[in-house]
Structure 1
Amino acid sequence: MKKFLIKQIKYERGSYAIISVIMIPIFLLIAALAVDMSILFAARSELLKASDIAAIEVSKYLDLEQTQITGDVVVRSGYANYAIDWVLYNFNNKFGGR
């Protein structure tokens, strides 16, 4: 094998063929990784957008101005059912979660 490689490298055409055989799979691997990473970043940004929207929407109905902080989530009066329904509807439809 070593003699074959040395013989091929002496001739210009053979060296290009060997380099291309080695480099093409490497470039294809790099391209596949780049596509995978772009898909992951796009999915991550969509989930972040959705969670931010959910946090903003639900925070409208939370009583954030409590006199004593007990650690419990207190929903403003009259909005409990709407806030729960909103979260269940949006997350069940968009993400399949509960």
Structure 2
Amino acid sequence: MNIDFGLDPEFSWYVVLLCVSGAAMLSIAAAKGFEQSDGARVLSALAGAGFLGYGLYLGFIFEGDSYWMFFQAFFLPVLLVVNFVRSVVARRAERPRVKRD
């Protein structure tokens, strides 16, 4: 396993964040019952699978000295999570409210 926070904390945190971002995006893509377009769902699934796959590759298979670090790759999960939360809030606002006596 290549994750060693004492030896290379930048690489280790990068791998952890890739895996967490990938898992979050896959969860968003799999969430049913929310108003997500098919395009947003597919984008979340593809990006999530890519992030999780690259994170697992770097964490468990990678044996080289150099790797690609995509800092801008963490903007996409933030945008997808914001879009998902907006859709959840919009759906809740559309539901009729029930008065309780």
Task: Name the TM-score, length of structure 1 as normaliser.
Answer: 0.29
| Greater RCO, CA 8 A, separation 6+ | 2
Structure ID, larger Rg = 1
> Which has a greater percent of helix?
1
Task: Name the TM-score, length of structure 2 as normaliser.
Answer: 0.29
